[in-house]
Structure 1
Amino acid sequence: MLLTLPACDRDGGDGPWPGAAGGARGDLFERASLADGSRLLVTTEGGVRIVGTDDESVRVDEATPARWDLDAATPTLDLLCDQGDKRTEDNCGGMRLVHVPAGITLTVRARNAGIEVDGVHGELTLSTVNGDVTVHDSGTEGASQHLVTRNGSVRASGLAADGVSAETVNGDVDLLCTTAPAALDGVTRNGSVRVTLPAGAPPYKTDASTVNGRTVVDVPAPTAGSADHPRRLTLRTVNGDTEVHRG
């Protein structure tokens, strides 16, 4: 059973963490159960690395103060950050490690640091400001993946998806897909957009543009009069290259 504890004061004392859920350490969140297919929201004012595992537990290491809210519309793990509280200030700029069930639908909202996701095989919605979004061996063929930052790059290797939306302003978008998504949008302003599709990827209707850079499209276009609904690629930048290849 998860125990919700009262809010602590802000004097950096030894009292319980605000809204923490009890685990093996009593007044610190350590572990909770969440079945594959469930939704999870992770919020942080710093950075986070999330790794998918084969069990049904959401867990953090003992150095990570966190709040667990199972009563929210979506179960939420908040990595606590308060620059005025010495117990939580290390969360504000660090890259905390969180383990989650591999099959969940995952949303992460971060700020002023990066997001890294490895081995999570559900739908991903990852957003940060002033940091990179990095994905390894994640996603699933039938899902939409949303990867967004503002000042940083979006990089994915081993990404499975039916739809991909990858966006930044100052940084690169670099995507290596293991499946052939029905639609993919890669957008930046100051940086390059590079997409690699599987070697046997079908034809795509491709719209790739740049102002100061080069464009390379190395995938076939649909044939005239094709009855199939064309798959679509949209790659846009201002200062950088746009490229799409089959790997």
Structure 2
Amino acid sequence: MTDAPLIAVLDDEPEIRRLLAAALEQAGFRTQSFGRATEFEAALRRITPDACLIDLGLPDRDGLALVHRLAADSGAAIIIVSGRAQVQDRVTGLELGADDYITKPFEPAEVVARIRARLRRPAQGAASRPQTLRFAGWTADFDRYLLIAPDGAETPLSHAEAEVLRMFTDNPRRLITRSQMLETLGGTAGDSFDRAMDVRISRLRTKLGEDPKNPRLIKTIYGAGYIFLAEIG
């Protein structure tokens, strides 16, 4: 099926690549697999994956640095699949822009379910939700993962940043609590989720030219959550 979502698998272990590709293709996804970061990065010039499964222990590149670059430059969902099980690795991966973190060993069915959850969420109600929204002189283009400034300058949004911005634009001038963010965006409750959300909101504020000490659009209500103050046009 040519319109099936494309999943890129980057892992230096051939058996894991085969295992993931088989499970994903059986579930109806298309896949392309890579054993080295250089091969994967070269392929990104000709393919546009909907999601990327990234191992951190790569032979030719730091996996976290790759995740950080992908989050800044790509609209793909990014899921780390790694043998690093320490909490700090999980926190760092999420802070650098990953949408999810799965530790090895894993069940292939769990990976498929996590990808489906990540790809399903932006599409919910897509037929009735405009993909281009305007607020306070800015334009958010969710189809192209772009934030367009009042002067026309374009800034790419990561998949995770676009999810957070969509959550705000869907709920303008309403308090959004941490529990509501967790329910809307998915994830696991705890410090790693909270820190990842803080980082993504900080990045959104930076891209929106906000004063970090006195933001106009995304207000923090300490102990409660956040409020997006712009009118949506």
TM more than 0.5: no
Structure number with higher strand proportion: 1
TMscore range, shorter length: 0.3 to 0.5
TM-score normalized by the length of structure 2: 0.33
The structure that is helix-richer by fraction is 2
What TM-score, normalized by structure 1, do the two folds share?
A: 0.31
Larger RCO of the pair (alpha carbons < 8 Å, separation 6+): 2
